[in-house]
């Protein structure tokens, strides 16, 4: 039996050089310690630096009210998002990066509903919300803090995104058990769509990321308005 051995041609022995492509990554600072916002950004390919803003939200809202700056829930979340971003941008750790601040509130029956904090507040809220609808507003404020100049404000852009949320008609037992988990006590509107409470939201009209607390489409829009390519935020 004759075995045929094929030899590679000279052309096939040539090694094609690999071109190493590098790209610049724009650092993003998240002015929040919200686990939901952090997970959302990471899912979108962004690994932010997280810094707690340390803003007294009640004091900021009260001061803005006294100055006549708040006439709607949208105004309130806009002002609070801006306050959070500016507080963090003033820190040395945030220099050389974009800084995003966010604030969310549920508008329901003419009220702005933030975090209930206490079980009895969450119980009462859910008994009113079940089977009804509300609008979740999230304010976004993005500061270009890459080249801060002492005494001068850094370029910044903001936007408020809103989504309508339709709640399921929960039984008293379901409400009590949900509140007992502790989840609704620490989130705006006393519900989540990315956690235990997701089963109690029947549908959403609008951007679901807005309901989580940070709209990726809003972040892209604001980045582009500041002259920053959104894809440069990716840590891929």
Q: Which entry of 103, 172, 173, 207 is annotated as an active-site residue? A: 103
Which residue blocks in the chain are alpha helix, DSSP H?
35-43, 57-66, 73-89, 119-129, 172-180, 208-212, 216-225
Q: In the annotation, is 173 catalytic?
A: no
Q: Residue 155 corresponds to which tokens in the numbers above?
A: 């370029």
Q: Is the dihedral of CA 108, 113, 115, 117 positive or negative?
A: negative
Helix H, strand E, coil C: the string for 155-199 is CEEEEEEEEEEEECCCCHHHHHHHHHCCHHHHCHHHCCCCCHHHH
Bridge partner residues of 141 (DSSP): 101, 158
Cα gap 196→214, rounded to integer Å:
19
List, by residue number, the catalytic residues: 103
């Amino acid at each position: 039996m004759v075995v045929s051995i094929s030899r590679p041609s000279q052309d096939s022995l040539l090694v094609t050089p690999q071109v190493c492509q590098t790209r610049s990554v724009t650092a993003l600072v998240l002015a929040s310690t919200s686990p939901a916002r952090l997970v959302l950004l990471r899912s979108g390919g962004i690994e932010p630096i997280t810094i707690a803003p340390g803003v007294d939200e009640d004091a900021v809202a009260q001061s803005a009210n006294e100055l006549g700056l708040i006439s709607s829930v949208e105004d309130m979340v806009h002002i609070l998002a801006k306050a959070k971003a500016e507080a963090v941008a003033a820190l040395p750790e945030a220099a050389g990066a974009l800084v995003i601040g966010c604030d969310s509130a549920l508008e329901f029956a003419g009220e702005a509903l933030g975090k209930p904090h206490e079980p009895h507040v969450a119980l009462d809220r859910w008994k009113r919300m079940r089977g009804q609808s509300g609008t979740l507003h999230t304010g976004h404020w993005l500061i270009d803090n890459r080249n801060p100049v002492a005494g001068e404000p850094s370029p910044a852009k903001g936007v408020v995104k809103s989504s309508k949320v339709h709640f399921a008609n929960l039984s008293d037992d379901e409400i009590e058990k949900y509140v007992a988990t502790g989840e609704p006590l620490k989130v705006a509107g006393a519900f989540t769509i990315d956690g235990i409470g997701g089963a109690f939201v029947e549908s959403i009209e609008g951007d679901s990321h807005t309901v989580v607390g940070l709209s990726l489409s809003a972040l892209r829009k604001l980045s582009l308005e500041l002259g920053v390519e959104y894809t440069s935020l990716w840590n891929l």
